[in-house]
Amino acid sequence: MNIKLSFISTLIFPLLSIPTTAQNIQMVDIPAGSFYMGSLGEGEDFDEAPVHKVIISQPFKMSATEITNRQFEAFRPEHRELRGKDGLSLADDEAVVNVSYQDVVDYCRWLSEKEGKTYRLPTEAEWEYACRAGSYYAYSTGEYLPESFLKNQQTARTLKPVSLRVGQTEPNAFGLYDMHGNVEEWCLDWYGPYVEATQTDPVGYRDGLYRVTRGGSHNTPAWYLRSANRMAMLPEDRHSQTGFRIVEAAYPTTEGLPAPEPPRNQRDVSYTLYKWGTPDTTAVFLEPRVYVLPPACGDEPSPFFAHNHQPALTWCDNGDLLAIWFSANQENGRGMVVLASRLRAGQEEWEPSSLFFKVPDRNMTGSALLNDGSGRLLHINGVEASGDWQNLAMVLRESHDNGATWSRPRIIAPEHTKRHQVIAGTIRTREGWLVQACDAGPESHDGTAVHISRDGGATWHDPWDGAPLPDFRDGGTGTTIAGIHAGIVQLNDGSLMALGRGNSIKDKEGRLRMPMSISKDGGRTWRYYATDLPPIDGGQRLVLRRLNEGPLLLISFTDHPLRTPASERGMMFAGSQEKGYGMYAALSYDEGRTWTHRKLLTDGRERYLNGGAWTQFFLMDETHAEPRGYLAATQTPDNRIHLVSSRIYYCFNLKWLLE
């Protein structure tokens, strides 16, 4: 590191001796200099590469600690009501949290006007430069963080209350405290990929979707507290893991970087309205094809991890199909991304995957897509504050050009909490309401919640009254759908019906059956019934939808190949003398009371296929179809049914189901 101003790197300033502002904020002098920013960017840390030289041309002052409750509430007293949320940040001298990007920008403006100086957030480069303080180890303390820095440094499903009192550990060589952990810190920059060239006083991108945060926080694995680690948040988001610190310096005059090239799934998208033609007059079952494909060699950098799962699917007005899914090394991790692939109109093969949606270093569990029939695509996704899938906010994006561009993510359920794990299968009712299913909790028997919008997606409401989970039994009632990963349809009488996984109900013969939930009051209360359908289990998710032709379609599984007792496995299908096993379709012509025309989803040809995710390899033949998979489906205006499992795409029509 090249320090242009004299500086004794081993000097440690006692906190109380540092000059303070009128608001009692201790400010530390940070000298001008240069350093190498970033890391090798391996695996989930792909956004930390390439390493590039950065010159900080002017000295600046940075607050020795994160801004505290007392300091922030001198500007915004009403914030005191948020103290103690999630059991965190109670005291005056603890780091303030639950502040949005605009909250902290407003604080800097207020402080600047009050003191006649310029206070702002640090740029991402200034932050990493100040954090490293001359060190190129993972942390300014070396290869590891001392025990005194650690505050439940693990992926926490429920945040463990810890002290966020500032300045309690040793400062770095610049005299800055809590640069590794305590709370994440907002930075000035829009988030975007690094460039390789040497840069002087970089400010990130001219525009973007997410604002950078740095430093990691409590209740986060220590790996995310490294000097080079990059995080970001939606500017409107706020939660108990992010606060900020300030710098005293003029705003940089450097020009921001232009927007990077869009990902493959948003390039060369046709705007022409597709002519679907008349529905097929004969039965159709197309050769199953893989839609989850790694990025193309030489294409734009895009992550692609070992575990690809939980898809959503829709059709576009230009004739394309658009599929999305999450890709991760572990489901309860921060590296999870949402990828996409297109099946372009008239083509037979799906394109290589490319990045679709990713708030950096946040868990992204749960995605849904819908073509609402008015030329608009909707994308709804969960966004965690950290790495687990329990406490998610919900965001919505819109596209009016077949997915070539998307609106800025808009938070539609801001609390990071349960009941927000989005499930594919959004529906639009006859009244024009949008109904979105979400798992009500992270466990396999937590049931399904609904979020309803009566104004086209502008506002959303969860009709749940706060009641605890009911006892899901036949004839019982409650305020949560029985079964997670539920599919929902509207019945002809206006009621909502749902089928789900788990919370199985015993029938009159004592057999466990798939539960059905009916709501006659817009999702506020549900009544539960045992169906005559076999229950499903881990690694399986059903599809329930109304076909263009009128009947209800269920696609599910005859059993669970690892958990169903051998004597209960399989199902007899019409016209067959042997049991069939695996994925099947069933039709209901009486609004879900009975399910007829059950058919195994195979054309009888022998194939050895890889279903990916939890399915892996399986044999398809006359009596065997895909045994597991998370399913999503759509039906195009030509009445073809398009289905994806965790890795495989199927296409067939009603005539084939009725054969």
Question: Whole-angstrom Cα distance, residue 311 to residue 110?
Answer: 46
Question: Whole-angstrom Cα distance, residue 556 to residue 598?
Answer: 10
Tokens of 237: 């988001």
CA 44 to the chain's CA centroid: 15
Average pLDDT, the chain: 94
Angle at 153 between CA 147 and CA 159, to 5 degrees: 130
> Token pair 């996984």 is at which residue?
501
- Spell out the residues 6+ positions from residue 185 whose beta carbon is closer than 8 angstroms to its own: 66, 127, 213, 214, 215, 242, 243, 244, 245
Question: Whole-angstrom Cα distance, residue 285 to residue 266?
Answer: 29
AA letter at 89: S
Q: How confident is the model at residue 5 (pLDDT cuts 50, 70, 90)?
A: very low
Q: Which residues of 190-222 are buried (b: 16+ CB within 10 A; e: fewer)?
A: bbbebeeeebebbbbbeebbbbbbbbbbbbbeb
Question: How does pLDDT run across 26-43, given as a tens digit for each residue?
Answer: 999 999 999 999 999 998
- Spell out the residues 6+ positions from residue 467 whose beta carbon is closer than 8 angstroms to its own: 478, 479
What is the 8-class DSSP label of residue 575? Answer: T
Q: How confident is the model at residue 300 (pLDDT cuts 50, 70, 90)?
A: low
16: number of Cβ within 10 Å:
8
Q: How many CA atoms lie within 13 A of 631 on its CB side?
A: 31
Q: Domain 19-248 adopts which CATH fold?
A: paralog of FGE (formylglycine-generating enzyme) (3.90.1580)
Residue 22 has pLDDT above 70, yes or no: no
Q: Which uninterrupted H or E stretch holds 53?
A: strand 52-56
Q: What pLDDT, on the 0 to 100 scale, is given for residue 182?
A: 98
Would you say 322 and 338 are in contact if contact means Cβ atoms under 8 Å apart?
no
Q: Taking Cα atoms as reference points, which of 18, 15, 386, 334 lies closest to residue 165?
A: 15
Q: How confident is the model at residue 23 (pLDDT cuts 50, 70, 90)?
A: confident
- Spell out the residues 6+ positions from residue 610 whose beta carbon is closer than 8 angstroms to its own: 290, 616, 617, 647
Q: What pLDDT, on the 0 to 100 scale, is given for residue 88?
A: 97
User: Could you tell me the CA-to-CA distances from 251 to 58, 201, 247, 413, 483 in Å, in that order?
Assistant: 11, 10, 10, 34, 53
Q: Annotate 31-48 with DSSP letters as a single string.
A: --EEEEE-----GGGGGG
Fold match, 19-248 / 290-422: no
- What does the domain layout of the chain look like in residue ranges? 19-248, 290-422, 536-659
β-sheet bridge partners, residue 518: 497, 527
Question: Whole-angstrom Cα distance, residue 281 to residue 323?
Answer: 27
Residue 15 has pLDDT above 90, yes or no: no
CATH assignment of 290-422?
Answer: 2.120.10.10
Would you say 652 and 284 are in contact if contact means Cβ atoms under 8 Å apart?
yes
Residue 4 has pLDDT above 90, yes or no: no
Q: What pLDDT, on the 0 to 100 scale, is given for residue 296?
A: 84
Residue 3 has pLDDT above 90, yes or no: no
Q: How confident is the model at residue 575 (pLDDT cuts 50, 70, 90)?
A: confident
634 three-class SS:
strand
Q: What pLDDT, on the 0 to 100 scale, is given for residue 639?
A: 97
Question: Whole-angstrom Cα distance, residue 557 to residue 542?
Answer: 8
DSSP-based helix, strand, coil % in the chain, nearest 5: 10, 30, 60
Phi-psi region of 402 (alpha: psi -120 to 50; beta: other; left: phi over 0): left
Question: Whole-angstrom Cα distance, residue 36 to residue 38?
Answer: 7
Q: How confident is the model at residue 18 (pLDDT cuts 50, 70, 90)?
A: low
Residue 270 has pLDDT above 80, yes or no: yes
Q: Taking Cα atoms as reference points, which of 189, 195, 194 lies closest to residue 207?
A: 189
538: number of Cβ within 10 Å:
12
Question: How does pLDDT run across 220-231, given as a tens digit for each residue?
Answer: 999 999 999 999
**240/9: higher pLDDT:** 240
Question: Whole-angstrom Cα distance, residue 438 to residue 435?
Answer: 10
CA 102 to the chain's CA centroid: 23
Q: What is the pTM of this model?
A: 0.95
Average pLDDT over residues 50-58: 97
Work out whether strand 184-190 and strand 211-214 pair parallel, antiparallel, or are unpaired: antiparallel
Residue 13 has pLDDT above 60, yes or no: no
Q: Taking Cα atoms as reference points, which of 526, 482, 478 lies closest to residue 502?
A: 482
β-sheet bridge partners, residue 575: none
- CA-based radius of gyration for the chain: 27
Q: Taking Cα atoms as reference points, which of 506, 473, 489 lies closest to residue 595?
A: 489
